[in-house]
Structure 1
């Protein structure tokens, strides 16, 4: 069984950040940041994946990122 980690560099050190982004249409025109995501990133190389905050849970995100 091989060790799992970042798909780019193999590191097992990861961090998370919550971010908000605008959508399209009126929300973009009025700068309404109604899309919320959790970003999981490799602390070694910076590779990042975005997960919709409404459908993600903390430990599940790490499992998806690092297998």
Structure 2
């Protein structure tokens, strides 16, 4: 834990993270026509690169980073 009470990265404990986005296809027709139907936020540790995917539900990036870092 850092002095603010955050646990940090689940793998290395670092307390800085980057947020990105990816989109993927689903199955069936969306896959055949390459239609991006699923959207995810990717939170990655700025030190070791450990990453977790979160389904994009409209949450702000800072909320997801709080979940990632504890």
Task: Tell me the TM-score range normalised by the shorter chain.
Answer: 0.7 to 0.9
User: Which residue, out of 17, 21, 31, partners 2:20?
Assistant: 17
In the alignment, the residues of structure 1 paired with residue 62 and residue 15 of structure 2 have an alpha-carbon distance, to the nearest angstrom, of: 14
- Comparing 50-59 with 36-45, which one deviates more in the overlay? 50-59
Q: TM-score, normalised by structure 1?
A: 0.86
Q: Which residue of 2 aligns with 1:26?
A: 29
In the TM superposition, residue 17 of structure 1 has moved relative to its aligned partner by 0.4
Q: Deviations over 1:7-66 (max 9, x none)?
A: 111111100001111111111111111111110001111111111112533222011100
- Comparing 49-58 with 38-47, which one deviates more in the overlay? 49-58
Gaps of at least 5 residues in structure 2 are none
Gaps of at least 5 residues in structure 1 are none
Runs of 4+ in structure 1 deviating by more than 3 angstroms, as ranges, are: none
Q: TM-score, normalised by structure 2?
A: 0.83
Provide the aligned C-alpha RMSD in A: 1.3
Q: Which residue of 2 aligns with 1:59?
A: 62
In the alignment, the residues of structure 2 paired with residue 56 and residue 38 of structure 1 have an alpha-carbon distance, to the nearest angstrom, of: 10
